[in-house]
Structure 1
């Protein structure tokens, strides 16, 4: 069977895309289909839910951050052995940044590139027939993006469903189901979005419940019929980030969680081995590794435990004396001198770089980034441009005296200034690397 694909789309964040996606992934798997999940854009949390729902690795498909050949390679990998791939849109279907055609970061880019139809999830709370005007706008906004059907979400009653569905079907769009309003269907959230799949209590029970809801609320046969053949070309991994070492010590626990699944997969395919260790369990990086990577996560929630993890601290100091260490976002915060938590309490961090950060004085930093590296480091060589993303609420209290790691530009090329730090073998930045520019 040729793999088929479908985008789950919406007008905005918070419409219910993730719940619908999780439920459909598991519901189709129950029917014996091999199902894969993908996420448009740079969101590193939702692929974990897709993996839990399907048993297959989730993947990000980011048309801005990934060179078209790399994007095609990852899309091609997502269909390997799959009957159906469901792509969850980030934000609204057409939400991206001004960029060259096909590279805005919006899920609509994937629809155009690969001919994928979109199933539109409409939160109809507070409206009825007006939902048809929204659906009509989506249907005609871009002729190259096909809206194949609609799911009504947060429906209050049968009368409410009928009013909205009749109006939408009158403009020629099929309504394949309606999910009734139920606050317990929402996933728990915190400051960076959803609580991650690995931390979700009773995750399997929640996924099963979502599948039950979708089986009851949607016509699964009609949804499957909307999907189209998904045939991305093989592409190339020439623009993938090279592994920072042959054996990579990877911090992995509740404080360090944000490693893009495509990075781990690419590093393994290039022959690297990832050796996890837990700073929260006071574990040092393994001595038989030749590089150490501290990914992003939630160190601000565990700063007190990290501050007294003496084996971790000593091991990191010993490792950094002879081998490269890199930290992203939360990992960068832990590499610094101190971290001020949300309550204003200051905790001593590793001090391998000279900056200090605060989560008490919150300000959101969000957007695509281009990093031009000032010198060789685990991300690449001097002068290389790396594309990625920044999303954090922490602020710098003290920049320290280390050499900056890179010059940072936003997604449209506007210079934002120097970023990150470098001292000896240690480097770090708030920027999450996705791929070579």
Structure 2
């Protein structure tokens, strides 16, 4: 049975959603509840922290890239839990201009589809009753999205809290918690967002503090009471094709950005995952039928990746006879070289002609529709795929055959086409800058 759920959201990024979500997960878990976390939208970092706090794998739910049936199927992992807590992305109503599979990618789309009430996290620093006007606007902006209450963040003093509560009472909104300013509970950041969970040596202590902080300043019983049960259907859900029967999957600090639902789909089709660490100079398992290099931060480990000869030789031998695919960071690692932010070039695997640079940072961010011209591993025909791209690398050279025609969410063509190379031994190496989320079911029109 799927438990009741709620969605933690906010008016904007940077308000404290992740800290509050982690605190709620840790606090409820400490009370003996089995809580299933989810993340709205394309994100790798937050779900890893969710998983550590909840003790259950956090799964992405994306209304732009996934159909309603696919979202419903992802939610099935919550069976047996006591409560669902989903974290929104950006502001509650922030999405793209053109609708995708089940919406624009906005957290509000997920709330409307699932029926999960919204708990708003409001940064009230620098304002008092005005914060109630903001919350009231969010509560009444869209029919079908229910705001169950608010958690006040960065409260300066008891007087400040009292003034904010006066405004919330006038707006008819329930205050579920009031968090004083606390600089001790924060997550470090880098250019793609938060540092990965596995990189924090004191993660357990941070989560413990977050749980105690939320427990001391929020009404957990009232928050749990806001949750609602969804009535969802998985009819028509489509899995992501497993790229092979035995998948050598790079997994370490340089290659860690892989959506949990991809691995779940692969395993559901009977595939075996064979993890290996390039940074530990490990080659893909000789028994594997395909190799997959996820995204991550190879640019932060350029010198080390340039020196791991067993990994290099193993990959080059593997690629001669079997398919290899890389996403974003994995794609860059398959190329000739990466120029780091300091201008130093590090040689990569040389399986593709791609050359990239971080010397001049330029953000590439957004949803992608890929109309494949050649097949990626596991797909016997060309497909229309939905994914997401987020990196700061510039392409210096992309000489191989393009893998796909790629557009952004508005239908504009982007130059990151991905690459395809047929190897002399019969193997195929492919790569994309976008991370695959799902095959398209509602086929978008191809922009000429």
TM-score range, shorter chain: over 0.9
Q: Residue 369 of structure 1 contacts residue 390 of structure 1 at CA under 8 Å; is this kept in 2?
A: yes
Q: What is the CA distance between 1:342 and its match in structure 2?
A: 1.1
**Cα separation, 2, equivalents of 1:68 and 1:230:** 12
1: CA distance, partners of 2:354 / 2:177: 52
Matches within 5 A, 1:396-415: 396-399=395-398, 401-415=399-413
For residues 357-368 of structure 1, the aligned pairs below 5 Å read: 357-368=356-367
CA RMSD of aligned residues (A): 1.3
Does 240-249 or 229-238 show the bigger shift? Answer: 229-238
Helix, strand or coil: the match of 2:296? coil
Instruction: Tell me the alpha carbon deviations over residues 367-417 of structure 1, each in whole angstroms, 9 at most, x when there is no partner.
Output: 000011111222634431010000000111122x21011110111323224
1:226-375 aligned within 5 A:
226-238=226-238, 240-375=239-374
Contact 1:405 1:418 in 2 (8 A): no
Note the alpha carbon deviations across 1:166-214, whole angstroms, 9 max, x for none.
2112211000111111122111110111111111221111111110001
- Partner of residue 425, structure 2: none
1:124-167 CA-partner distances (Å, limit 9, x unpaired): 11111110110110111112111110000011111111111121
Compute the displacement of 1:99 (Å): 2.9
Partner of 1:156: 156
How many matched pairs? 434
The answer (yes or no) to whether the contact 2:153–2:179 under 8 Å persists in 1 is: yes
Preserved CA contact (<8 Å) 1:277 1:285: yes
Q: Is the 8 A contact 1:148 1:173 kept in 2?
A: yes
Matches of 1:143 and 1:66, distance apart in 2: 22
8 Å Cα contact 1:71/1:235 also seen in 2: no
**Alignment of structure 1 residues 416-431 onto 2, 5 Å:** 416-417=414-415, 419-424=417-422, 425-431=428-434
The match for 1:79 is 78
Distance in 1, Cα, partners of 2:197 & 2:206: 10
User: Structure 1: how far apart are the matches of 2:6 and 2:325?
Assistant: 37
Task: Quickly say closer, same or farther: Cα 1:178–1:387, change in 2 above 3 A.
Answer: same
C-alpha distance in 1, partners of 2:90/2:84?
Answer: 19
Residue in structure 1 matched with residue 209 of structure 2 by the alignment: 209
2: CA distance, partners of 1:166 / 1:2: 37
User: CA–CA distance in 2 between the matches of 1:324 and 1:419?
Assistant: 19
Q: Distance in 1 between matches of 2:375 and 2:134?
A: 49
CA distance in 1, matches of 2:384, 2:13: 30
Give, in whole Å, the separation in 2 of the partners of 1:254 and 1:100: 34
TM (norm. structure 2) is 0.95
For the residues of structure 2 that align with 1:418 and 1:27, how far apart are their CA atoms? Answer: 43
Please report the TM-score for the alignment, with normalisation by the length of structure 1: 0.97
Is the contact made by 2:155 and 2:161 (CA closer than 8 Å) also made in structure 1? yes
1:313-361 per-residue CA deviation (whole Å, 9 max, x = no partner) reads 0000000000000000000111111110111001111110011100111
Note the C-alpha offset of 1:98. 2.2
